Amino acid sequence: MITFNYETAFSLEGEKDIGVWIHSVIRSHNCEEGELNYIFCDDAYLLKLNVEFLQHDTFTDIISFDNSIGKLISGDIFISTERVAENATDYKVSFQEELQRVMIHGVLHCVGFKDKTMEEQEEMTRQENTALLVLNN
């Protein structure tokens, strides 16, 4: 089950369609959907988690806590909508496009993709682009 939770006034448009899309991406990687929780928050909320759990005193757009067991994909994905908005401006894309990229980025981490090395980052971007094509077609 995919749930969307809000720690700010933000509200995701098209929750049902986004949920179906995320489910299809999980299935496309031969995995099953478990409990996947999206928590939309602000920079301060996510910074606190970043410091407390990852010992990183920096702003970030997303933190994924992967609770997957084998091919059963579960986890908590925290997204700062403030950071997404700023990144959308920096990357010259719409807020919606950047939000969708970040949302699927978290799922791809749970599926098993990493982004520590340049090669991993390139593969992550390819996977994000493929998933975004599915959503937007």
Binding-site sequence positions for Zn(2+): 105, 109, 115
Q: Are 113 and 3 in contact (CB under 8 A)?
A: no
Q: Secondary structure of 23-58 in the HEC alphabet?
A: HHHHHHCCCEEEEEEEEEECHHHHHHHHHHHHCCCC
Distance CA 111, CA 72 (A): 9
Q: Are 32 and 26 in contact (CB under 8 A)?
A: yes
53 CB neighbour count, 10 Å cutoff: 11
Distance CA 79, CA 43 (A): 9
Which residues carry a binding-site annotation?
Answer: 105, 109, 115
Q: Return the structure tokens found at 56.
A: 């990183």
